[in-house]
Structure 1
Amino acid sequence: MSMNIWVKRSLSTAAVAGGLFFAGSLAAQASTETGAAEANDSASLSSPLEIGSVGLGLSSESSSKHSSTVTHTDRRGTATTTKTSESGRKDTVGLKTGKVSVNPSATLKSVTKAVGQKSEHGAKGSVQQHSSGSVKSPISIGGTELTTEHENWSATSKKTTISGKKGSVTSEESKEQASKTSTSVGVGELKVDPQGSFDSHKSVTGWFGEDGAGLVGSDSKTVTEGSSPISFGGLTAHTSQQQAATGHRKQTVTTRRGTWTEEHSDEQISGTEAGLNVGQFVADPKAIVIDRRRSIFATDGEDSVVGLNSSDTSGKLAAPFHFDGVSGFVSQAQASKTSDSKSFENEHGSVTKTVTKESASHQAIAGKSGAISGKPSLAFLDRRNDVFATDGDDTVVASDRKSVVHSAFPYSYDGFALAGDFGQATAKTVTEEVADHSGTTTRTESDEQAERVQPAYVFDGFRGDFERTVDVAELTDLKHLDS
């Protein structure tokens, strides 16, 4: 018999016995006419753990006050000086954490069945095995938020009065300051759910005749899957600072000719604020691998032997993800006001002049980066067939292999935007007032100026779909991996 005939017969036998599996347990049945055995094994494990949320807070306050008065009298008159000062502070810290939970678990099952039969014409038998298992360990870590707040304030005042035979002089001065700073940082919840599973079927069937001829076939299929979805709630940060200050000075001089008064006051306030927001991130990496193997061994009991092996391995890796983007801002504003006043008064009337100046400015910049999404994937198929045949004199070895790879990466980016707001304004008011026996005359002049600039820039983003394939016709065999 030629080798070509052997190969043809072997291939046709492989088509008929494609569902058979590699075996060798027939020897266990050689001493009995018939026999059967079955074994079942299973195991499971679970160990959940949960830690509750935690909240911590701390607040402290302090203040102080001091005052003094000094009086001095001599032949020129009496001088009295009074001073006061006050200050205080307040600090607050808060921390809050979410729940933490872990729930690992695993299962394993195995079923094995064996059947054998022996007679005067030969022996035959089969073994089947089904194994499956899974493991997972979901983890959840609750978000965390940290807040701090700090306040300071102080006030001072001084007053001096001098009285003598020629008149009196009174001087007053006061200052106040206050500031407040607050910050907060938040970390979103983190969830991870790694899990994997496998399912394996194996079977072996064979028979041998009394003349030594026989056939043994094996078939196996293993499906392995794994994934690890992840979700992160993002990050937020915010800080702000506010400051305010006021000052006041006044002097009054009284003599026989009249009373002179000079007064100055100023106010200042400023604020700075900034924020950052890192959006949510989610991803779902996963993989599946399917491995199918077949083998056949046939002999006529003499010198002719045929062996066939085939394997079919396919799989797909994917990691879709989405990120909400980043946004942030910084802003600053400040304002001030000053007032100067001079006046004179006696029995004939009064003259007063007041000059008031005001100014304000602000600057703000904000930006936002849009969402980013992607769905990278990689699929593959590897198919192989090997044939070995001999009739005692000639030997034939043949091999055939086919590999297919497909990769893709659809993606999108929503773009970004930048914006600014800058402005300032000033104002000045002058008021003069004259009062005497004939009446009162008031004159007021005012000037105002303002300007504002608002630049902006927007980028609309981009999208694409990188894809590369090899042997597109073979890729149709990968469609079942999407289910």
Structure 2
Amino acid sequence: MNVWIKRSLSTAAVAGGLFIAGAAVAQASTETGQADSSGSAALSSPLEIGSIGLGLQSESSRKHSSTVTTTGKHGTATTTKESASGRKDSLGVSTGKISVDPSATLKSVTKSSGHKSDDKVKGSAKQHTSGSIKAPISIGGAKVTTEHEDWSATSKKTVVKTKKGTSTSEQSKEHASKTGTSVGVGELKVAPQGSFDSHKSIAGWFGKDGAGVVGSKSGSTVKGSSPISFGGLTATTSHQEASTAHRAETLTTKRGTWTEEHSSEQISSTDAGLAVGRFTADPKAVLTDRRGGFFATDGDDEFVAGSSSETSGKLAAPFHFDGVSGFVSQAQASKTSDSKAFENEHGSVSKTVTKESASHQAIAGKSGAITGNPSLGLTDRRSDLFATDGDSVVSHSDRKTVGHAAFPYSYEGFALAGDFGQATAKTVTEEVADHHGTTTRTESDEQAERVQPAYVFDGFRGNPNGDFDLAELTSLKHLNS
């Protein structure tokens, strides 16, 4: 037997069976009867956890000093040393609130009725069921910070006294550094949810002669979605360091005083950061199924039966991402100074050389926002018809499956910048002073350089989309050799 005839007969048989069951309820009690029933249920279980904060800190330091004096036949030597150091560490952790609020509902309604008379039996039955479920979740984000500091200082002084004169030597050094980092995670929100709706109905009548009509229809829809929002991520780090050094030597005799001195300073810093922007999306799906059928007969050999169905589904996932940005910056500077001098009762002579240098590099980049809305839809339609007068048979069937796909999108581009710099300076100062007066001579030299490149891309957008027939996509085409 033709497959479409079988399907039509099957649909008609189901419709007839449901109708007979509904009519039998009415016949079991009175000539006319009706029965209704309904029920519902709901469930909810919210939960919330408060924010958390934690901080830890530790410090330590130490100092040391010593003095040594040596006396001999040639004179006395005294050496003094001092040192100190310390450190500091800290840690901080904080989290936001966490909340969960699951809930569910279910509802069902059933109605049936029947009527019996001397020449006809009528009946109908309806059922409607629906439900939903939700489980929104919110996590308030978290942040972690750390900090570390170190410092140290040392000094040394030696004084030697003899019959010829006094010699003094001094040295000192200092160093300090500080490093800090932080990482932050934005709030996360997810709200998965789903629902369904289903209905069925059947109605018809039959006469004493066997003639009658029965029709049925049913449909169901299922929906699901899970909107999500993520507040992004941030990360930063910084490091600073500074140091100084000083050295001086002095010799005093009957001829005069000689002095030589050297000092240096250095400082540097490095900073970097990364930011991942907010991300939002709302993936969703919908599935719908509708079916119908009928059966009609004149009580003899003639009858007509038919069925139809339509199943469709759609998937979509709109999203938006704010992009990524970051930077790295570095700076450093140094200074040195060297001087020599001689002084006695006739006058003084001195020379000082100072050098300075600075350097700066910086780079920053940003990626623009990305937005898209991909979607896919598919629909399948079927229809069958079967008729006979007892002798001849007529049947017809049709099926078509079509779909649609689209992906509108946009990208806002990116930007990249840089800032580079360098500078140097040198100064030489010479001074001579005697009973005739004072003569000072100064020379200086400076150099500077800077480069500032920048790149910008404006982005792009598009919307590829189209319809397709599944039968054409799956058909095989052969080429004659």
> Structure 1 residue aligned with 2:246, among 233, 248, 258?
248
What residue in structure 2 maps to residue 312 of structure 1?
Answer: 310
AA aligned opposite 1:29: A
Structure 2 contact 179–237 (Cα < 8 Å) conserved: yes
AA aligned opposite 2:24: A
Q: TM-score, normalised by structure 1?
A: 0.91
SS of the residue 1:267 aligns to: strand
Would the alpha carbon gap of residues 144 and 21 (structure 1) be closer, same or farther in structure 2, given more than 3 Å must change? farther
AA aligned opposite 1:400: D
Match runs of 1:320-331 below 5 Å:
320-331=318-329
What residue in structure 2 maps to residue 29 of structure 1?
Answer: 26
Would the alpha carbon gap of residues 240 and 117 (structure 1) be closer, same or farther in structure 2, given more than 3 Å must change? same
2: CA distance, partners of 1:384 / 1:141? 47
Structure 2 contact 361–418 (Cα < 8 Å) conserved: yes
Per-residue CA shift, 1:329-354, capped at 9, x if unaligned? 11111111000010001111111110
2: CA distance, partners of 1:23 / 1:296? 11
**Displacement of 1:28 after TM fit?**
2.5
AA aligned opposite 2:122: K
AA aligned opposite 1:369: S
2: CA distance, partners of 1:336 / 1:268? 4
What residue in structure 2 maps to residue 479 of structure 1?
Answer: none
**Displacement of 1:131 after TM fit?**
1.3
**Count of residue correspondences:** 456
Match runs of 1:9-408 below 5 Å:
23-25=19-21, 26-32=23-29, 33-408=31-406
**Displacement of 1:380 after TM fit?**
2.6
1: CA distance, partners of 2:70 / 2:28? 130
AA aligned opposite 2:25: A
AA aligned opposite 1:30: Q
2: CA distance, partners of 1:190 / 1:238? 21
Would the alpha carbon gap of residues 116 and 40 (structure 1) be closer, same or farther in structure 2, given more than 3 Å must change? same
1: CA distance, partners of 2:58 / 2:214? 84
Per-residue CA shift, 1:422-455, capped at 9, x if unaligned? 1111000011111222222211110000111111
SS of the residue 2:301 aligns to: coil
2: CA distance, partners of 1:157 / 1:335? 24
Structure 1 contact 187–235 (Cα < 8 Å) conserved: yes
Q: Which runs of 5+ in 1 are unaligned?
A: 1-6, 472-483
SS of the residue 1:81 aligns to: strand
**Displacement of 1:24 after TM fit?**
4.1
SS of the residue 1:257 aligns to: coil
**Displacement of 1:212 after TM fit?**
1.6
1: CA distance, partners of 2:464 / 2:364? 33
**Displacement of 1:97 after TM fit?**
0.6
SS of the residue 1:30 aligns to: helix
> Greater shift after overlay, 339-348 or 315-324?
315-324
AA aligned opposite 2:312: S
What residue in structure 2 maps to residue 425 of structure 1?
Answer: 423
Q: TM-score, normalised by structure 2?
A: 0.92
What is the percentage of aligned positions where both structures have the same residue? 73
Per-residue CA shift, 1:265-299, capped at 9, x if unaligned? 00111111111011000111122233221111222
**Displacement of 1:327 after TM fit?**
0.7
1: CA distance, partners of 2:19 / 2:431? 117
2: CA distance, partners of 1:43 / 1:336? 76
AA aligned opposite 1:166: K
> Greater shift after overlay, 141-150 or 194-203?
194-203
Would the alpha carbon gap of residues 113 and 21 (structure 1) be closer, same or farther in structure 2, given more than 3 Å must change? farther
AA aligned opposite 1:253: L
Would the alpha carbon gap of residues 235 and 21 (structure 1) be closer, same or farther in structure 2, given more than 3 Å must change? farther
Q: Which runs of 5+ in 2 are unaligned?
A: 470-481
